[in-house]
A and B are shown apart, each in its own frame.
Chain A
Amino acid sequence: MSEPTEKQPRRVHLKVLGATLGASAFAYAMAPLRAWTKELSVDAFLQKHYKELTKEEMTKVIARLEADTKRDYGADVTIKDPKPRAGVEFGYALNLSVCIGCRKCAEACHHENNHDRATNNSYIRVLEMEQGSFDMERGNVQYDHAVPAPGKFYMPVQCHQCDNAPCTKVCPVQATWKEPDGIVVVDYNWCIGCRYCEAACPYHARRFNWTKPEIPKEEINPDQGYLSNRIRPQGVVEKCTFCLHRTREGKLPACLEACPTGARVFGNLLDPDSEIRWVLEHKRVFILKEELGTKPRFFYFFDV
Chain B
Amino acid sequence: MACSVRCTGKNIVRSLLFTAAIVFGVACGHRDQAQSLQAAPSASATGAVVIHEPPKLTSIETDKVDALGKPIRVACVTCHTARVGQKLPTSPDDLRDFHQGLVFKHGDNTCANCHVLGAQDSLRLADGRLIPMREAMTLCGQCHGSQLRDYKKGAHGGMSGHWDLASGGRLRNHCVDCHDPHAPKFVPSTPVLPPRDLKLGPPIPHQAGPAIPKLSTEGAHP
Contacts and interface: CB of A to CB of B under 8 A. Distances in A.
B212 A142 contact: yes
Given A210-B222, A278-B153, A252 B160 contact: yes
A125 B213 CA distance: 19
B40 A147 contact: no
A289 interface: no
Contact of A119 (B154, B170, B196): B196
Contacts of B210: 144-145
Interface stretch (A2-10, A26-34, A67-75, A101-109): A101-109
B164 A120 contact: no
A262 B156 contact: yes
B195 interface: yes
Interface stretch (B18-26, B31-39, B63-71): B31-39
Given A106-B193, A142-B212, A210-B221, A148 B188 contact: yes
Given A53-B33, A118-B196, A144-B212, A265 B154 contact: yes
A120 B196 contact: yes
Contacts of A261: 158, 178, 186
Contacts of A247: 163
Contact of B33 (A51, A148, A251): A51
Interface stretch (A80-88, A163-171, A187-195, A290-298): A80-88
B192 A107 contact: yes
Interface residues of A, number: 71
Interface stretch (B51-59, B87-95, B116-124, B197-205): B197-205
B146 to A, nearest CB: 7
A118 B36 CA distance: 38
Interface string B176-201: 00100000001011111111111010
Nearest to A266: B163
A303 B153 CA distance: 13
A211 interface: yes
Contact of A142 (B33, B178, B200): B200
A125 B200 CA distance: 13
Contacts of A260: 158, 178
Given A86-B37, A86-B39, A252-B162, A144 B191 contact: yes
Contact of B195 (A98, A142, A259, A266): A142
Contacts of B218: 118
B207 interface: yes
Nearest to A139: B204
B173 interface: yes
A145 B203 CA distance: 13
A37 interface: no
Interface string A127-162: 010000000001011111111110000000000000
B184 to A, nearest CB: 12
Nearest to B177: A260
List the 6 closest pairs (A to B, CB-CB), nearest first. A250-B167, A118-B219, A275-B154, A250-B164, A87-B40, A146-B188
Interface of B: 31-33, 35-41, 146, 150, 153-164, 166-168, 170, 173, 178, 186, 188-198, 200, 203-204, 206-207, 209-210, 212-213, 218-222
